[in-house]
């Protein structure tokens, strides 16, 4: 009788565990040639979803675009086995995301992601994720399934000792929490009297537009917004700071704004875009510190 009760109790516990694992199971399968360093399942009432690079401004961490979610979180940290490259893991996850028809909300690679120690210590609170900044991979991806929103947040890094770590956060949340997509503070379209949208673009040695992954993500977001807003006019103000002389700086800042305008027009038609260049003229934009080339965007409704 005693053994029977124990067996029943074990069956009950096992059944509850199975149901819990089904409810919170990871939507993405791990790369097979890794060892699990950490695996946590928790409810997070204030999960910070980072949708930009990470920097330090005036001694404080600066995340220019993020949002908060009340979500269920599965957090896994993996160490890649010797003999494999981070690019192989990244490709493995990208294939799964494509099968899920996942939407890219944000991606960055290398130094475009910012300071690795900030990702490790401030965002993830795990020093194992501090490494070579040129090796960084970060991405945020969203898809819907069974009436829920699924978000995968993946960060990979190669440490100085050549060890490779991959952190995978898998978040599920109510659809209405993320119905508006990734467009938040960073990608809202400010008007003339508001702080303009900062787009980190530049010209190469041939005076052709160079766009980082984060810049492409920003432009993709605002292009969707422009489709619905259809503002009266969209201003693109190019900034270019160098020691080449005021005339060259004015000319190149105009080229910067014009080429970004042409890029936007290749994705969204029928807009009234007004590209302008102001050369090295000072900007009070908070993200312009230490930057020599960029474009600011605002709209007129």
- pLDDT on residue 18: 37
Q: What sign results for the dihedral spanned by CA atoms 154, 288, 258, 190?
A: positive
pLDDT digits over 105-153, tens only?
Answer: 888 888 888 899 999 999 999 999 999 999 999 999 998 887 778 999 9
For the CA atoms of 234, 55, 107, 112, the dihedral, rounded to the nearest 10 degrees, stands at 90
CA distance 145 to 152: 13
pLDDT digits over 252-298, tens only?
Answer: 999 999 999 999 888 777 788 999 999 988 666 777 777 899 999 88
Q: What is the pTM for the complete model shown?
A: 0.56
pLDDT digits over 210-230, tens only?
Answer: 987 778 877 877 776 776 667
């Amino acid at each position: 009788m005693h053994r029977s009760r124990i067996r029943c109790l074990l069956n009950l516990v096992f059944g509850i565990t199975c149901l819990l694992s089904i409810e919170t199971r990871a939507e993405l399968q791990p790369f097979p040639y890794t060892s699990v360093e950490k695996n946590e399942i928790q409810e997070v009432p204030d999960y910070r979803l980072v949708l930009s690079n990470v920097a330090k401004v005036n001694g404080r961490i600066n995340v220019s675009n993020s949002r908060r979610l009340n979500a269920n979180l599965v957090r896994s940290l993996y160490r890649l086995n010797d003999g494999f490259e981070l690019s192989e893991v990244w490709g493995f996850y990208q294939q799964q995301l494509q099968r899920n028809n996942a939407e890219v909300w944000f991606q960055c690679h290398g130094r475009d992601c910012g300071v690795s120690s900030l990702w490790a210590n401030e965002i993830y609170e795990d020093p194992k994720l501090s490494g070579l900044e040129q090796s960084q991979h970060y991405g945020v991806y969203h898809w819907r399934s069974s009436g829920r929103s699924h978000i995968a947040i993946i960060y990979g890094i190669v440490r100085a000792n050549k060890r490779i770590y991959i952190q995978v956060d898998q978040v599920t949340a109510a659809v209405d929490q993320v119905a508006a997509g990734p467009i938040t503070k960073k990608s809202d379209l400010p008007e003339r009297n508001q702080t303009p949208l900062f787009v980190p673009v530049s010209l190469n040695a041939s005076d052709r537009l160079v766009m980082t992954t984060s810049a492409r993500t920003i432009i993709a977001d605002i292009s969707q917004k422009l489709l619905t807003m259809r503002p009266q006019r969209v201003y693109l103000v190019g900034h270019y700071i160098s020691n080449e002389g005021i005339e060259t700086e004015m000319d190149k800042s105009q080229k910067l704004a014009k080429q970004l305008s042409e890029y936007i027009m290749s994705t969204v038609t029928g807009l009234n875009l007004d590209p302008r260049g102001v050369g090295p003229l000072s900007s009070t934009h908070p993200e312009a510190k230490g930057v020599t080339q960029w474009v600011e965007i605002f709209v007129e409704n």
